[in-house]
Each structure stands twice: as C-alpha cells, then as structure tokens.
Amino acid sequence: MRDGKKERATEPLRHVFGPVGSGRLGVSLGLDLLGARICSFDCLYCEAGVTEALTTARKPYVPARRLLDELAAWKAAGHAPPDVVTLGGLGEPCLNSELGAVIAGAKELFPDLPVAVLTNSSLMADPDVRLELAQADIVLPSMDTLVPAEYHRLNRPHAAVGLTAIRQGLLDFRAAYDGKIFLEVLLLAGINDSVENSELLQGFCRELAPDRVDVVTLSRPGAHPGCQAASAEALARFRAALGGFAQDAAAPRRAEGHGPAALAGPQLEALAGRIAASVARRPQTEAGLAAGLDVPAAHVRLALAALVRAKAVRERREGDAVFYSGLAG
Ligand code: SF4
C-alpha cells in the first residue's frame, strides 16, 4: 500500500510561489488561490493575460485544504522563513469562497509572520468578504480610477461590479479593520492619468486613510496591445496629489495580476527561454512543463502567457488539454 503522506510531500507545489522579493512586502511567499485566470476584472494592463473566466461567483476554486497542505509541505521542507505570506493568484483571490479558512490556516502554520492579501477591491461591497479579509494583517487593494468611464475602459469589470460599491466597500472595510491597508493605483497613459482622477483619488485617500499608497505603471506590455506606461510627469503628479500617503520609493509593479510572488523580469525571461527551448523540441502542456522543468505551474503559466502574447510559441487545444509548441512545431 502506498504511503499517502509521502506521496503528497513529493508532489510539485502548484499554488505556492517563491519566495520572491516584493517592493512593498519584503521577502514574500505567495499562494495562488485561483489556479487559473479567474477574475472579476479583465484589466487592459493585466500581465497574467486575458481573463479566462470573468465572474463574480465565489467558489472554492482551489480548496483551502489543498492550499494549506501545500503551505505545510513548503514549511516542512525547511526553507528559510519569508517576511510575509501573501495570498493572491492569477486573478482575484477574494473570489475563492474559502479565503477566510486560507487566511486562518496560514496564520496557524506561520504564527510569527504577517499574512497579506492582494485584491482588486471588486468584492469589497460583500460583508462576508470584508469579514474574511479582516483576519489578514495587511490588505493591498487596488483602486486605479474613480472616473466611471476610465474604470470601464481600464479595468473592464464584470457587469455586476459597480465603482460606487467598490468605493463604499473599501471605506466600510477601513472603518472595521485594524490592520494595514496598502492601496495601489496603476496608471496608464491617456486612460486614467487625468486630472479628474487624481482629484477624485485625493479625496478618496483622505477618507480611506490607507497606511500607504503606491502609484505605479506598467513595467512590461500588458495583456492588450496599445496600453502604454504613464509618464514620469503623470506619476509624479499623482504622487503629489495623494500627498503624504504616496510612496516616493521606486514602486513595485503588478506583474501577474494579483499574484503575490510574481516572477521578476529577468527570472520570467529566463524561464520563458527554457520553456521556448523545451517546446521547440516537442509540444507539451503546462503541467508537463512544470513537472519537466521542476518549477511551479503558476510560474510556467505566467511565462507561457508572455510567450503566447509575444507570438513566440504556438497554442493548440486537443480535447481538454492545451499544448504548446515551437513556431516550427
Ligand atoms: S490585473 Fe488583477 S484585477 Fe486586473 S484582470 Fe489581472 S488579475 Fe484581474
């Protein structure tokens, strides 16, 4: 009879990322709560790629038990502890209906570490989500624009997600939450770098009183061609408008949607190079690549998304499986 525990311990970790350096959080061990590009937004700038499932439905997309087993396996492997455990993923982590159990379980496993959650804020109007999130030590919500037309053009939300509800949900959360709020504003040139937006965000920050604000822009091309990084002038203007809340330090970029442990540029490029070389030899699936290269599937997914966007590999569906091959394949 096979030893189930031993078998689990040797399985690759599909949902634990890193740890990697995060400008906002230090050395961050990430957890992907979605396992796929499942999001309530389909942002123009999303470097995770186009949202595959645009939804507001909360479900155990990856069950808490599975996530916590992986975290426990990572801990048992004797790695040096990170500075923080960060919950995110290739989409919106609050869509995972077992978010509360994941936060509680992560805190139990790492009682000395803060637990952080990245979110696009879209579910903040839901009191259950606010209650679950309140267990975290740090919440990093996004709010790119308070101008409705810009919001629709930039974040391309599910029809059920209204901007006014997000704004109020964040304020309600702040009122009941003792932990830290690190707000992120991502600017794109000609889309949400308007004076109107900076004025609205300024008033909002005054009400929200976040612990810090990071004004950032694209570091690499986003999911949709044509979106351009904001200028240094626009970044400086927004940082000045958001006053004492904004950070002057080089701000981190959202590199894979809300994935907490995004691969840094050179690491991602290196992995993409290995994948391109491997699929040039024979077509492979994401899972096959993760096993063959011995890297987390989420990292492979990110690198594949970049390669597909760059038209450097071919993507072909066969039944339920998606295969990647070289351009000559
Ligand atoms: S950037 Fe974040 S919120 Fe926007 S589509 Fe990507 S994962 Fe979703």
Residue nearest to atom 6 of ligand 1 (CA): 257
Whether residue 248 lies inside any domain: the answer is no
- Least-confidence region, from 150-159, 177-186, 230-239, 265-274: 265-274
> What is the model's pLDDT at position 99?
98
Number of domains within the chain: 2
The residue range of the domain holding 315 is: 265-325
Q: Report the nearest atom of ligand 1 relative to the CA of 40.
A: 8
Question: In CATH, what number is assigned to the domain containing residue 318?
Answer: 1.10.10.10
Index of the ligand 1 atom closest to the CA of residue 120 = 3
In this structure, is residue 238 part of a structural domain? yes
3 secondary structure, DSSP code: -
Residue 133 pLDDT exceeds 50: yes
Q: Is the CB of 34 under 6 A from ligand 1?
A: no
From ligand 1's centre to the CA of 39, what distance in Å? Answer: 6
Residue 259 falls inside a structural domain: no
252 occurs within a structural domain: no
| Token pair belonging to 172 | 């309600």
Question: In this predicted model, what pLDDT tens digit does every residue of 40-74 receive, in sequence order?
Answer: 999 998 877 889 999 999 999 999 999 999 999 99
Range with top average pLDDT, 141-150, 241-250, 298-307 = 141-150
In a domain, 139, yes or no: yes
pLDDT for 246 equals 60
Residue 140 included in any domain: yes
Domain finish residue from 208, 242, 276: 242
pTM, rounded to two decimals: 0.75
The stretch 159-168 carries a mean pLDDT of: 97
Question: How many Å apart are CA 114 and CA 135, to the nearest integer?
Answer: 10
Output the CA 8–ligand 1 centroid distance in Å.
31
- Over the stretch 256-288, which tens digit does the pLDDT of each residue have? 344 433 455 567 777 888 888 878 777 888 888
Say which residue the tokens 């959360």 belong to. 173
pLDDT of residue 245: 66
* Length of the chain, in residues: 329
Say yes or no: CB of residue 295 within 6 Å of ligand 1: no
Q: Is the Cβ atom of 89 under 6 angstroms away from ligand 1?
A: no
Looking at the fold, whether 173 and 299 belong to one and the same domain comes out as no
Question: What is the whole-number distance in angstroms between the Cα of residue 188 and the centre of ligand 1?
Answer: 14
Structure-model confidence comparison of residues 231 and 290, the more confident one:
231
Enclosing H/E stretch for 247: none
Domain for residue 250, yes or no? no
